[in-house]
């Protein structure tokens, strides 16, 4: 009975929320805006909330005795699955371009860029425990380093890639110094401000960066000196191999470049975790005072985390610049930092596989959802759904946000919450810890 009452209450709240948000749609009419009511959509949503809440409460009643059990089983399943998931994902990533679909290769490149950014930020946030809300700054520094070096000095991508990494790492140290004493919320605020400072500099230093107009015609990368230009002339990829020049060749090449860069990030992180430096980062996350009492130089350890995390952000930035061939400060807003941080938190702080999965869901999943909703809308051509079908794709972000909330309720420590020990005395690996 209480469940029914609770469900009614939830439905009432949903009605209050969705009534104005979904029920009233503005349309451009001849004379200004028109308000079109959309009662069916509201009814569907309120009904979903009512039955969803009712179902959830009934399910919870039945499983009263063992509320933790399903979560633990899920954790163990995930741990077991992850052993096969990693090689499967890697094989999929390598095989993707052979599918031949330009759309999927482009999407894969985008996903991998975020995987790489996630892995880079994972060093700072996941391992060292330093909450960084301005990670996009290093992405921007990397992108602009390459774009400017190419524009003013005519350097190629492969020379600029390490330079972009070094410059971004330098910026990481620059950010690190003033925030050495800060932790948690205060650190987050300063890093947030740092991200904005870099963006504002890029906008306002017009003589160097062309301000809001951005930089265009950034050169594309070459494969051992072979370019991917469309004219098929001397010294191009297609000329060398005697095949027709096609855009897809460059797209696939770029895809493998970012795949290699992302794997480099992953490899370096995995190695570093087993090194004293990586252990010191994790120790720093656990207890800074204890670190100091053991003779660990907290300053250097923090700066190295900032620098190395920033370096990978810089690599990703240089790749972004060469892939887009055009960059402007527009691309480096706070929402990018937030997305990357969401990927790291959703994946499970410190978990490499979790971050990759989260990037796949957050970036790839969002695109898939768009497709799915358009397809669903096309199926619902009965007059009953007339009010909703056309609007369905616009609910993409709403559904996505809801999915994220549900995910964090179910798995508050991220998709893969466990942590493998970096050294063991006995041979067996400890099972992922589940304290959520």
Q: Binding residues for another protein, per CB under 8 A?
A: 268, 271-272, 275-277, 279-280, 282-283, 285-287, 289-298, 304, 419, 421-426, 428, 430, 433
List Cβ neighbours of 331 (8 Å cut-off, separation of 6 or more): 140, 143, 320, 324
227 bridge partner residues: 236
The angle formed by the CA atoms of residues 218, 364 and 325, to the nearest 5 degrees, is: 5
Nearer to another protein, 2 or 428 (CB): 428
Compute the distance between CA of residue 54 and CA of residue 22 in angstroms, rounded to an integer: 22
Q: Min. distance of Cβ 289 from another protein in angstroms?
A: 6
Nearer to another protein, 55 or 184 (CB): 184
Nearer to another protein, 110 or 417 (CB): 417
Nearer to another protein, 250 or 413 (CB): 413
Q: Min. distance of Cβ 267 from another protein in angstroms?
A: 9
Of the candidates 16, 6, 2, 5, the one whose C-alpha atom is nearest the C-alpha of residue 45 is 16
Asked whether the CA dihedral 180, 186, 192, 197 is positive or negative, the reply is: negative
Cα→Cα distances 432→78, 84, 353, 436, Å: 9, 15, 13, 12
Of the candidates 416, 395, 396, 419, the one whose C-alpha atom is nearest the C-alpha of residue 407 is 416
The two structure tokens encoding residue 381: 């051509």
Q: Min. distance of Cβ 153 from another protein in angstroms?
A: 27
Residue pointed to by tokens 């063991």? 424
Residue pointed to by tokens 């991508």? 157
Q: Min. distance of Cβ 23 from another protein in angstroms?
A: 47
Nearer to another protein, 31 or 425 (CB): 425
* DSSP label of 235: T
* DSSP label of 61: H
Q: Min. distance of Cβ 284 from another protein in angstroms?
A: 9
Nearer to another protein, 75 or 192 (CB): 75
3-state class of 227 per DSSP?
Answer: strand
Half-sphere exposure of residue 364: CA atoms within 13 angstroms, side-chain side = 19
Nearer to another protein, 70 or 276 (CB): 276
């Amino acid at each position: 009975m209480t469940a029914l009452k609770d469900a009614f209450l939830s439905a009432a709240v949903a009605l209050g929320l969705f009534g104005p948000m979904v029920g009233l749609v503005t349309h451009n009419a001849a004379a200004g805006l028109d308000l079109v009511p959309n009662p069916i959509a509201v009814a569907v949503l309120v009904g979903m909330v009512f039955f969803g809440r009712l179902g959830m409460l009934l399910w919870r009643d039945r499983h009263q005795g063992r509320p933790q059990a399903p979560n633990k089983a899920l954790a163990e399943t995930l741990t077991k699955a992850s052993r096969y998931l990693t090689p499967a994902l890697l094989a999929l990533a390598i095989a993707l371009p052979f599918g031949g679909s330009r759309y999927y290769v482009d999407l894969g490149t985008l996903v991998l860029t975020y995987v790489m950014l996630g892995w880079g930020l994972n060093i700072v946030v996941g391992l060292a425990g330093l909450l960084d809300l301005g990670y996009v700054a290093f992405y921007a520094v990397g992108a602009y380093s390459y774009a400017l070096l190419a524009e003013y000095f005519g350097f190629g991508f492969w020379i600029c890639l390490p330079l972009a990494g070094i410059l971004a790492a330098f910026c990481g140290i620059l950010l690190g110094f003033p925030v050495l004493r800060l932790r948690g919320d205060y650190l987050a605020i300063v890093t947030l401000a740092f991200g904005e400072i870099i963006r504002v500099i890029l906008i306002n230093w017009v003589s160097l960066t062309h301000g809001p107009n951005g930089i265009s015609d950034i050169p594309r990368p070459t494969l051992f000196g072979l370019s991917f230009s469309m004219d098929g002339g001397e010294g191009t990829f297609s000329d060398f191999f005697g095949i027709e020049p096609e855009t897809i060749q460059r797209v696939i090449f770029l895809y493998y470049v970012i795949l290699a860069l992302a794997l480099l990030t992953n490899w370096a992180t995995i190695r570093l975790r087993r090194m004293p430096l990586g252990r010191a980062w994790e120790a720093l996350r656990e207890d800074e005072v204890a670190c100091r009492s053991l003779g660990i130089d907290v300053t250097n350890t923090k700066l190295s985390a900032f620098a190395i995390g920033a370096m990978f952000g810089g690599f990703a930035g240089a790749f972004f610049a060469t892939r887009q061939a055009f960059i402007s400060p527009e691309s480096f807003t706070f929402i990018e930092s937030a997305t990357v941080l969401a990927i790291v938190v959703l994946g499970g702080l410190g978990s490499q596989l979790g971050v990759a999965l989260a990037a796949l869901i957050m970036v790839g999943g969002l695109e898939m959802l768009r497709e799915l909703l358009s397809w669903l809308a096309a199926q619902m051509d009965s007059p009953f759904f007339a009010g909703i079908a056309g609007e369905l794709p616009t609910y993409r972000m709403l559904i996505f946000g809801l999915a994220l909330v549900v995910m964090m309720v179910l798995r508050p420590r991220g998709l893969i919450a466990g942590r493998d020990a970096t050294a063991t005395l006995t041979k067996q690996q400890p099972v992922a810890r589940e304290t959520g």
